[in-house]
Each structure stands twice: as structure tokens, then as C-alpha cells.
């Protein structure tokens, strides 16, 4: 099941060139995206209403898109505006059009009722395109259900295990940290001190091999992860009584990530790595991204293997632990929103049902 009435990342802005037609599958829907003359992105159902050919094999004509099977032409609204073989265009000659917003170097698509598309619901990515920050971006395709990826991002204790040789830096500081989770609008905030964490060797400054890190992220519907990490000298966590620090950090980094389901068992994961130019060089930024990408390959290997076991043994139950608090809360939040947007169930007429039962008893 998917949540429909929300914004999903359809790709980075760089994925949508001025002239190309880009095919995507999101929540099982075939979609074609392209840019209009003014640069705005259009998203249409990638299935011509005539003989169901993919419009991504079509031709852009100004702001319109022509199907290159038998020539029907569609406006960005999805309405057919030309049928070469006839003068009358039936009102049913239409393909679905999806609301799109380009923001923070991401192209966001609304997969639900277009009348409910509210751009203020788009989560704000951290430091994307900001001149004061280095930013590198990537994406990863998963053979796994999106909820397993949400779960992974909502329990960062896995950094000490899955990523012991990369982000975990052979330390238990992530694994032993106790995050505080609070509800926010359409999501959760997860905050923690990671105490005495080894500094990455590519960020040599300031001197000293350990740091206390304040890591705080928002995880918002449908699966957007917004993490800011501030690093301090060891002892800072205790100085602040394990509460949020007010002092200026030694260095800061951020990452924004988005989980977009292709289908029930395939997902795309978009991620950025941002480093403040105040504390880092472009080379630091490249080195940080290299570590992050090694780490994300570790996540994928673990999650795809987990998915395989779940698929092969569907009745096996999971054990709940206190460290699952955030991911269980998020699963409940999503389940509630998904349930709320299902059409009301058609109730069986009670009288007929009861009358039939009575007749059966009498017989
Ligand atoms: S399938 Fe598109 S015009 Fe016939
Ligand atoms: Fe991970």
C-alpha cells in the first residue's frame, strides 16, 4: 500500500534535460516527465489513451507531447488536442496529469488527488543549492519495499554494525546512543548526542581524534530524511547535559534523502551530501561522499538480503525493541494516513443480509 496524497521526489533537477522525455514508474504508475519551453516540468501518465503505447517514445512539440504510434497530441493538462485521423476529439481522449514542483534541486510529484496538492507540504531540503555549501548528489535503486528503507533511516544504531568500517568508524558510539524522538507535523524529529565518536580522517581539523556529535533529523511523510550533524570537542555533550547545544560547532554537515517507491518491491533512494564551506574544502566534500556511497552500498546489501528473507518466510514475526520506537511510530503514522485516504467501504445492506440469514434458518 502507498500513501497517495503527498509529494514524492521524482528525481534530481539534472535528470530532466531541456529536450528529453524521461520515463519513471512511481507507486506503480507509469509516468513521463519533460520540460516545457519555460523550463517548468510536466508529468503525464506514460500510457497513450488510444492503444496504450508509452508517451515516453513520443515527440515533444512546444509544450505538448505527441504519441509517436498514431499521432495523438496531448497538452500539459493531459487533454488530447489533436487526432490526425479525425476532427472530433472525444472528452475521454485524455491522460492523467500530475502536479509537479521543482524545489531544492529536486522535482517533486503529487501522486494523489490533484485538487489536494499543496506545495507548502513539500519538505525543505537542507542546504541544497546553497552557495555556502558544497553539495554532491546521488541515487540508488533497491530491490526492496520502501518501508524497510524508512525503518533503516529511523534507527541509526545500525551505523555501528552495518557501517562499522565506514560511518561507524569501528566505534559503538552510534550503537549505544539514546535518541530522543518527538512528533512533528507529518513526521518525527530524532535527536541525539553521539559521544566520543572518531573523527573522519579526511576532516583533519580541528586537531584531536574524537568528537562529540549532535545529530538531529526530521523524518517526514512519505519518507524524507533531513539530517544535520554538528561536531564539537569531546566533553561538549556532558557540558550541555545531553541537551541541544547552542555553541558554534567545529564543523557541520547535512544530508537530505528521499525514499520513492517504484512498486511494492522496488524503490529509489535519492541522497545529498552537503558540507559547509566554512569548515571544509571541495576535496573534503568528495571524500565524504565516497564514504557515504560505500555506506549506502552496505545498507542496500543488508536491506535486500532482509527483503529476501521476508519474501521467503512471510509468516515470520519481528521482535519489537526499544530502539524500534521511531520506526514503529512512523509506520503507524503512515498506516493512519493511508487508511484515511481509502474510499469508504460499501457496506452490505444489513436488512437483506439479516433477512437471508433468517430464511436460511427457517429452511
Ligand atoms: S497509441 Fe498513441 S496514438 Fe495510438
Ligand atoms: Fe545506513
Ligand 1 atom closest to the CA of 70, numbered from 1: 3
C-alpha distances in angstroms, 220 versus 74, 259, 271, 273? 35, 11, 15, 18
State the average pLDDT over residues 276-301.
94
CA–CA separation, 320 and 307 (whole Å): 18
Please tell me the residue having the least CA distance from ligand 1 atom 3: 70
pLDDT digits (tens, 9 = 90+) for 160-173: 999 999 999 888 99
Are 29 and 79 spatial neighbours (Cβ–Cβ below 8 Å)? no
Nearest bound ligand to CA 86?
1
Mean pLDDT (the chain) is 93
Q: Which three cell numbers stand for residue 278?
A: 566554512
Q: Which pTM value belongs to this model?
A: 0.92
pLDDT of residue 349: 47
pLDDT of residue 302: 98
* CA–centroid distance, residue 296 to ligand 2 (Å): 6
Nearest bound ligand to CA 70?
1
CA–CA separation, 149 and 267 (whole Å): 9
pLDDT of residue 207: 57
* CA–centroid distance, residue 73 to ligand 1 (Å): 9
pLDDT digits (tens, 9 = 90+) for 58-95: 999 999 999 999 999 999 999 999 999 999 999 999 99
Per-residue pLDDT for 348 more than 60? Answer: no
Would you place residue 354 in the very low, low, confident or very high pLDDT band (cuts 50, 70, 90)? very low
CA–CA separation, 354 and 109 (whole Å): 47
CA–CA separation, 336 and 98 (whole Å): 24
Q: Which of 49, 68, 70 to mutate to test the pocket of ligand 1 (most atoms within 8 A of CB)?
A: 70
pLDDT of residue 201: 74
DSSP 16: S
Would you place residue 346 in the very low, low, confident or very high pLDDT band (cuts 50, 70, 90)? low
Please tell me the residue having the least CA distance from ligand 1 atom 1: 51
State the average pLDDT over residues 244-271.
96
CA–CA separation, 161 and 150 (whole Å): 18
Ligand 1 atom closest to the CA of 48, numbered from 1: 2
State the average pLDDT over residues 220-227.
98
* CA–centroid distance, residue 50 to ligand 1 (Å): 5
State the average pLDDT over residues 335-344.
93
pLDDT digits (tens, 9 = 90+) for 105-126: 999 999 999 999 999 999 999 9
Nearest bound ligand to CA 269?
2
Per-residue pLDDT for 30 more than 80? Answer: yes
Per-residue pLDDT for 357 more than 90? Answer: no
pLDDT digits (tens, 9 = 90+) for 131-181: 999 999 999 999 999 999 999 999 999 999 999 999 998 889 999 999 999
The residues, any chain, with a CB within 8 Å of residue 67's CB and separated by 6 or more, are 48, 50, 53, 55, 58, 73, 74
Q: Which of 51, 54, 74 to mutate to test the pocket of ligand 1 (most atoms within 8 A of CB)?
A: 51
Please tell me the residue having the least CA distance from ligand 1 atom 4: 70
Per-residue pLDDT for 16 more than 90? Answer: yes
Per-residue pLDDT for 322 more than 80? Answer: yes
pLDDT of residue 42: 98
* CA–centroid distance, residue 268 to ligand 1 (Å): 29
Provide residues with CB under 6 Å of ligand 1.
48, 50-51, 53, 67, 69-72
Are 67 and 48 spatial neighbours (Cβ–Cβ below 8 Å)? yes
State the average pLDDT over residues 173-200.
95
Amino acid at each position: 500500500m502507498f500513501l497517495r496524497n503527498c509529494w514524492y521526489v521524482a528525481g534530481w533537477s539534472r535528470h530532466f534535460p531541456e529536450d528529453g522525455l524521461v520515463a519513471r514508474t512511481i507507486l506503480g504508475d507509469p509516468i513521463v516527465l519533460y520540460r516545457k519551453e519555460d523550463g517548468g516540468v510536466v508529468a503525464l501518465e506514460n500510457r497513450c489513451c488510444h492503444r496504450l503505447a508509452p508517451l515516453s517514445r513520443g515527440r515533444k512539440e512546444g509544450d505538448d507531447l505527441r504519441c509517436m504510434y498514431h499521432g495523438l497530441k496531448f497538452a500539459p493538462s493531459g487533454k488530447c488536442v489533436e487526432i490526425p485521423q479525425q476532427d472530433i476529439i472525444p472528452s475521454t481522449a485524455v491522460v492523467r496529469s500530475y502536479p509537479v514542483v521543482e524545489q531544492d534541486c529536486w522535482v517533486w510529484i503529487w501522486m494523489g488527488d490533484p485538487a489536494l496538492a499543496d506545495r507548502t507540504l513539500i519538505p525543505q531540503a537542507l542546504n541544497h543549492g546553497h552557495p555556502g555549501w558544497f553539495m554532491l548528489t546521488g541515487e540508488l535503486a533497491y530491490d526492496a519495499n520502501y518501508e524497510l528503507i524508512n525503518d533503516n533511516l529511523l534507527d541509526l544504531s545500525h551505523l555501528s554494525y552495518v557501517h562499522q568500517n565506514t560511518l561507524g568508524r569501528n566505534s559503538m558510539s552510534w550503537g549505544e546512543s539514546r535518541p530522543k524522538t518527538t512528533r512533528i507535523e507529518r513526521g518525527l524529529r530524532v535527536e541525539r548526542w553521539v559521544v566520543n565518536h572518531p573523527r573522519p580522517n579526511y576532516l583533519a581539523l580541528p586537531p584531536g581524534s574524537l568528537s562529540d556529535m549532535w545529530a538531529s533529523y526530521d523524518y517526514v511523510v512519505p519518507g524524507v530524511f533531513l539530517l544535520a550533524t554538528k561536531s564539537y570537542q569531546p566533553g561538549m555533550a556532558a557540558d550541555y547535559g545531553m541537551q541541544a547545544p547552542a555553541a558554534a560547532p567545529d564543523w557541520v554537515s547535512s544530508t537530505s534523502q528521499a525514499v520513492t517507491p517504484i512498486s511494492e518491491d522496488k524503490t529509489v533512494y535519492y541522497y545529498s551530501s552537503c558540507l559547509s564551506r566554512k569548515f571544509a574544502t571541495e576535496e573534503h566534500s568528495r571524500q565524504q561522499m565516497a564514504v557515504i556511497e560505500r555506506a549506502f552500498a552496505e545498507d542496500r546489501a543488508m536491506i535486500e538480503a532482509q527483503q529476501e528473507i521476508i519474501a521467503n518466510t512471510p509468516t515470520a514475526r519481528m521482535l519489537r525493541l526499544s530502539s524500534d520506537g521511531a520506526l514503529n511510530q512512523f509506520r503507524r503514522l503512515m498506516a493512519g494516513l493511508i487508511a484515511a485516504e481509502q474510499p469508504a467501504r460499501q457496506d452490505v445492506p444489513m436488512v437483506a443480509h439479516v433477512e437471508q440469514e433468517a430464511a436460511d434458518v427457517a429452511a
